[in-house]
Structure 1
Amino acid sequence: MSFIRYSRGTTSIMLVVVVVVALAILVQDVQSMEERRASTRASKRLMNELKGFHESDSYKNGVFTVELVDENIFEWQVKIFKFDPESPLHKYLKKMKELGKGDDHFILHISYPYNYPTSPPRVGIRYPVLGSRTNWSRTSNGHPVCVDLLEAGGWCSAYTIEPLILNLATHLSNNIAYSRELGYLKQDS
């Protein structure tokens, strides 16, 4: 019968490898626990915000609506119905509805990160389509909305859904225009 013999050097290396692997697993478990805690805090905050939205003036006055996507508190679909009546965007949406070629609202997809409200949500325009279909790359969440408010430097964890959406509606009214020559909405630079 033969026995496997290890030298002290081999045993020491194996011990170091085992310790490193154990520490890596421990760090992953701690990170996972932190993510779960953050996710729980975020979901509680989002549930409170959703409840608060349904009690808000914006909801009562039909400015915008909020629906969960697949009952996921971290994925919201927002329909904005009211824009500045003098904006080209409002006039375009109204005309498209009258002609039966579209709806009179914007649809946004909002994805909240697990560490919300520390980090800002991602917002994409789902409807109407911006730009020509040939030069515009669409993500599953829509055309990304890029505003300072949604960047880490411009984000404040005190923001809630109502002022965020109202701010985005103002941004869209001021920065989205209809191109008669090209036949589609475009985002002004």
Structure 2
Amino acid sequence: MRTMRRAGAAALLSAALTFSLTACGGDGDGDPKSKEQGTSAPSQSGGDDKGSAAPEQKPSEPIARVKGDGGLELSVFSARRDEGGFLTIDGQINNTGSQGFTVPVQWNGLEQAVAATGRSFAGMTLVDSKGKKRYYVLRDTDNRPLTTYAYNSYIKPGQTLTFFAQFPAPPQTTTTVALQFPGFPSTSIELS
């Protein structure tokens, strides 16, 4: 009797597993090209994308672009207000130079509290000159900055590091802020 129960349970489990694998096996059209389109090539972002929530596709033209130290170029693609009272900056840093670039510790910000997170964009600030306020990258309840973090500390020539950073949203009357980031001149960005 036990043997029959075990055999029945094994057959049921096998059928359920086969059904699960079939259901999860693809998009159902049998076209191998459609499966390839769903996979993405490895990103050329300077390392792990931990903490990164930057969108995959960027508009063709940035809303701001500025050249910095060591052949780096910072591009901002969006500065959008979120419903929760946040402002999210999405952008990328490209190494347009012929030499590799070692990320300076100043990018992490000067606060001891965020030092434990390692490499981040916590050193980025926004300045509302009209409202006379400076905005810092937000922190979560564990004091981790709400920005891209734990990326590779070395950006090779031609490599791109995609980033995001969240700030408290300035008042609706503020339409332009200055983005300040160590190693780059201040640049003005329009808020959406």
TM-score, scaled relative to structure 1: 0.31
TM-score of the two chains, using structure 2 as the length reference: 0.31
Q: Which has the larger radius of gyration?
A: 1
Using CA pairs below 8 Å that are at least 6 residues apart, which structure has the higher relative contact order? 2
